């Protein structure tokens, strides 16, 4: 028997993605259909649109994944699927598809937590070194975890209001930029040649808190944009700088409280170049190893689902017949 091939299925939000990963480590192939273009028109994720898109996309995406891997369905050893959290209609399509495929092929199916899976994008580079700190930053989440082993996560802090990616999305809307806001803000910010004095404030939640707060940035960005209507690029830079500073500050505080040697980033905002640089500087300063997911696996993908699924299968987790999607699913639950 060769390597263990796990098929990963991700449909919790706007992408229908499927991947084959060997031994939780090696990405064999992946394919995805994104409804991001449709969402761009709506300025966000719309559940009905998402569910319809997933239904249409899931079978062709599976076929494409297997074709790229040049393996038949029968070569799969197990299936991992995102069971939550996420939009009900979207999750149900992935979960139902996975269960049916599992029954048809007579192979085990395991459900995984979407956010925990994001951390496992890092496992596709090298096995995770525990204990570690993990920082998940995306459009819907900003969460800091103490990660002591496979399946052993403790939430140390999270956003009290808006996620970091939401701060980018809403800031972009204020500046008249399209969705998703993160890459747009970054692109506009890079056009600033001489750094100006424009600065947005950071939330202060107390000197020991490991929580985040980004909702104040909306008001501050809006006010700055109306005071300085011709300085949009500088405002984009100020917004990016405020988000990055907040993330670095709280992560550094967590490293002081939990002095581990490894720091893992995950989630779509991890694609931001300024954040990557600032975290690299932090890691050098604190002498910790910084782990960044592969650039193409920062946003939602199925490789991370398959990678986490591999470890959960090893621990004996299986999805039962009556298990369904879990729209609200706490990390570490």
Question: Using CB under 8 A as the criterion, which residues of the chain lie in contact with another protein when the complex forms?
Answer: 41-49, 51, 85, 87, 89, 139-141, 158-163, 165-166, 170, 173-174, 215, 218-222, 328
Q: Report how far apart, in Å, the C-alpha atoms of 150 and of each of 244, 247, 320 are.
A: 28, 24, 21
C-beta of 166: minimal distance to another protein in Å?
A: 6
* 166 or 234: CB nearest another protein: 166
Tokens standing for residue 96: 């139902």
* 170 or 291: CB nearest another protein: 170
CA-CA distance, 35 to 40, in Å (whole number)? Answer: 9
Give yes or no for a contact between 5 and 30, defined as CB atoms under 8 angstroms apart. Answer: no
C-beta of 7: minimal distance to another protein in Å?
A: 27
C-beta of 252: minimal distance to another protein in Å?
A: 23
C-beta of 227: minimal distance to another protein in Å?
A: 14
* 41 or 289: CB nearest another protein: 41
- Please say whether the dihedral angle defined by the alpha carbons of residues 213, 219, 223 and 224, taken in this order, is positive or negative: positive
Q: How many CA atoms lie within 13 A of 50 on its CB side?
A: 25
Give yes or no for a contact between 123 and 177, defined as CB atoms under 8 angstroms apart. Answer: no
C-beta of 170: minimal distance to another protein in Å?
A: 6
Give yes or no for a contact between 263 and 135, defined as CB atoms under 8 angstroms apart. Answer: yes
Could you tell me how many residues make up the chain? 333
Tokens standing for residue 104: 């048809």
* 222 or 286: CB nearest another protein: 222
**Which one, of 221, 281, 217, 272, lies nearest residue 248 by Cα?**
281
Task: Say how many C-beta atoms besides its own lie within 10 A of residue 242's C-beta.
Answer: 22
C-beta of 91: minimal distance to another protein in Å?
A: 12
* 49 or 260: CB nearest another protein: 49
C-beta of 106: minimal distance to another protein in Å?
A: 35
CA-CA distance, 64 to 20, in Å (whole number)? Answer: 11
């Amino acid at each position: 028997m060769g390597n263990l091939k796990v098929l990963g299925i991700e449909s919790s939000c706007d992408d229908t993605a499927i991947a084959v990963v060997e031994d939780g480590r090696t990405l064999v192939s992946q394919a995805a259909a994104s409804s991001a273009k449709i969402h761009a028109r709506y300025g966000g994720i719309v559940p009905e649109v998402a569910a319809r898109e997933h239904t249409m996309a899931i079978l062709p995406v599976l076929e494409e994944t297997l074709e790229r891997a040049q393996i038949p369905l029968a070569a799969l050893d197990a299936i991992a699927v995102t069971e939550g959290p996420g939009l009900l209609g979207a999750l149900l399509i992935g979960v139902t598809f996975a269960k049916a495929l599992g029954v048809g092929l007579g192979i085990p199916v395991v459900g995984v937590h979407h956010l925990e899976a994001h951390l496992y994008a890092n496992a596709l580079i090298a096995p995770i070194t525990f204990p570690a700190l993990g920082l998940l930053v995306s459009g819907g989440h900003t969460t800091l975890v103490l990660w002591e082993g496979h399946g052993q996560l403790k939430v140390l802090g999270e956003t009290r209001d808006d996620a970091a990616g939401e701060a980018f999305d809403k800031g972009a809307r204020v500046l008249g930029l399209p969705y998703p806001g993160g890459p747009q803000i970054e692109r506009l910010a890079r056009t600033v040649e001489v750094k100006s004095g424009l600065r947005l404030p950071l939330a202060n939640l107390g000197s020991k808190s490991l929580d985040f707060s980004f909702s104040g940035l909306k008001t501050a960005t809006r006010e700055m944009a109306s005071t300085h209507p011709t300085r949009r690029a500088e405002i984009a830079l100020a917004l990016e700088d405020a988000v990055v500073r907040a993330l670095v500050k709280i992560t550094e505080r967590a490293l002081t409280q939990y002095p581990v040697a490894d720091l893992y980033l995950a989630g779509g905002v991890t694609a931001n170049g300024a954040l990557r640089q600032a975290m690299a500087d932090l890691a050098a300063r604190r002498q910790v190893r910084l782990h960044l997911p592969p650039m193409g696996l920062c946003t939602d993908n199925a490789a991370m689902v398959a990678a986490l699924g591999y470890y959960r299968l090893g621990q004996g987790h299986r999805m039962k017949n009556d298990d369904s999607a879990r729209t609200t699913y706490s990390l570490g639950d």
